Chain A
Amino acid sequence: MSSLLGNIFKGWSDYTKGNEEGGHHDYEHMYAMVIDLDMCTGCNACSTACYAENNLATVGEEYFGARQAMHWMRIERYFDEPNVGEAEADTQSRGASFLPMMCQHCNAAPCEPVCPVAATYHTPDGLNAQIYNRCIGSRYCANNCPFRVRYFNFYDHQETAWPAPMEQQLNPDISVRSKGVMEKCTFCIQRTRAARNTAKNEGRAIRDGEIQTACQQTCPTSAILFGDLLDETSAVHQAWKRHQVQLGKYAQNKTNPELRGYRIFEELNVDTKVLYLERVREV
Chain B
Amino acid sequence: MSKTKINRRNFLKVLGLGGAGAALAGCDMPSTVTLEEGEEKIYSYLAPEEYVIPGVGVWYASTCLQCPAACGTHGRVREGRVLKLEGNPDSAVNAGKLCQMGQAALQAHFNPDRITAPLINGQPASWDDALALINEKASGGNVAWMTGTVSGHQRVLLDAHLAATGKGHHYAVETVNARAWTDAGKTVLGDAMPTLHLDKAKAVLSLGADLLGTWISPVTFMGQYGKFRAAPRGVLIMVEPAMSLTGANADQWVAAKPGTEAAVALGVGHLLMTKHGLSLNGMPNATSAFQSMTPAQVHEIAGVSEAALNKIADTLVSHSPSLVIANASHAAARIAMVLNIMLGNVGKTLTPGASIAADPLAPMMGSSKDLAEFAQNAAAGKIDAVFISGANPAFVAPQGLDMAAALKAVGFKVAIATCHDETTKACDVVLPLSSALEDWGTHVPAYGGKPGVVHLQQPLMEPLHADTRGLGDILLTLGKSAGVDGLDAFEDYYGYLRTAVSAMIGSELEGDWHRVLQAGQFETRAASRAFSAGHDVALGFSETAVSGLHLVTVARQGLYDGRHANSSWLQEAPDQISKAVWDSWAEIHPKTAASLNLKDGDYVRLTTASGAITTRVFIYKGVHPNAVCVPMGRGHTDYGRWANNGVNPLTIVDAHLGDWQSSEIIATASLVKIDAAGENRHLVRLMDTDQQYGRKLVATIPAQQFGRTQGGA
Which chain A residue has the least Cβ–Cβ distance from B105?
Answer: A52
Separation of A141 and B85 alpha carbons in the complex (Å): 33
Identify which of B166-174, B348-356, B672-680, B704-712 touches chain A. Answer: B704-712
Known: A41-B225, A96-B622. A190 touches B708 (CB 8 A): no
Tell me if B698 and A48 are in contact (CB < 8 A). Answer: no
Instruction: Tell me if B86 and A217 are in contact (CB < 8 A).
Output: yes
- What is the total number of residues of chain B having a CB less than 8 Å from a CB of chain A? 112
B358 at the interface (CB under 8 A from A): no
A179, B622: Cα distance in complex, Å: 40
- The reply to whether B100 and A281 form a contact with Cβ atoms under 8 Å apart is no
B661-712 residues at the A interface, CB under 8 angstroms: 682, 684, 686-687, 690-692, 694-703, 705-706, 708-709, 711-712
Segment 576-620 of B: residues with Cβ below 8 Å from A: 576-577, 579, 581-583, 589-591, 620
Judge if A232 is at the interface, Cβ distance under 8 Å.
no
**Nearest CB in chain A to that of B99: its residue:** A45
Q: Does A93 contact B (CB under 8 A)?
A: yes
CA distance A55 to B30 in the complex (A): 12
Binds A, one of B249-257, B284-292, B334-342, B470-478: B249-257
Choose the segment among B34-42, B153-161, B442-450, B503-511 that binds chain A (4+ C-beta atoms closer than 8 Å): B34-42
Interface residues of A in 228-257 (CB under 8 A from B): 239, 242-243, 256
- Name the interface residues of A81-124: CB closer than 8 Å to any CB of B: 81-84, 87, 90-99
> Is B516 interfacial (CB-CB < 8 Å)?
no
Q: Establish whether residues A96 and B96, one from each chain, have CB atoms under 8 Å apart when the complex forms.
A: no
Task: Find residues 95-109 in chain B having any chain A CB closer than 8 Å to their own CB.
Answer: 96-100, 102-104, 106-107, 109
Contact with A along B245-265 (1 / 0, CB 8 A): 101111111110000000000
| Cβ–Cβ contact B225 & A193, under 8 A | no
Residues in B neighbouring A223, C-beta threshold 8 A = 226
- Shortest Cβ distance from B709 into chain A, in angstroms? 5
Give, as a whole number of angstroms, the nearest-CB distance from B45 to chain A: 14
Q: Quick check: is A144 within 8 A (CB to CB) of the other chain?
A: no
> Provided the pairs A82-B692, A174-B31 are in contact, do residues A52 and B85 lie with their beta carbons within 8 angstroms?
yes
The size bracket of the interface on A is 35 or more
**Within 8 Å of chain A (Cβ to Cβ): is B25?**
yes
Q: Please, which residues of chain A bring their CB within 8 A of the CB of B96?
A: 217
B226 touches A222 (CB 8 A): yes
Whole-angstrom distance between the alpha carbons of A174 and B645 in the complex?
32
Contact of A49 with B98 in the complex, beta carbons under 8 Å: yes
Cβ of B589: which chain A residues have Cβ within 8 Å of it? 90
B87 interfacial by beta-carbon distance below 8 Å? yes
A282 to B312, CA, bound (A): 12
Contact A220 B222 (CB under 8 A): yes
Residue interface bits A37-76, CB-to-B below 8 A is 1, else 0: 1110111110111011101001111001100010100111
B27 at the interface (CB under 8 A from A): yes
One digit per residue, 1 when the CB lies within 8 angstroms of any chain A CB and 0 when it does not, for chain B 105-128 equals: 011011110000000000000000
Is A168 an interface residue when CB atoms closer than 8 A count as contact?
yes
A280 touches B110 (CB 8 A): no
Residues of A within 8 A of B31 (CB): 173-175, 189-190, 193
Q: Give 11 new A-B contacts, CB below 8 A, not counting A48-B104, A165-B112.
A: A45-B99, A52-B104, A58-B572, A79-B690, A84-B701, A93-B252, A94-B253, A169-B83, A221-B223, A242-B713, A265-B695
The 8 A-B pairs of least Cβ separation, nearest first, read A220-B222, A221-B226, A48-B100, A61-B582, A97-B698, A65-B684, A170-B27, A96-B248
Chain A residues in the interface with B (C-beta under 8 A)? 37-39, 41-45, 47-49, 51-53, 55, 58-61, 64-65, 69, 71, 74-84, 87, 90-99, 161, 163-176, 189-190, 193-194, 197, 200-201, 214, 217-223, 239, 242-243, 256, 258-262, 264-265, 276-283
A-B contact pairs, 5 of them (CB 8 A): A42-B249, A80-B691, A220-B99, A265-B695, A278-B700
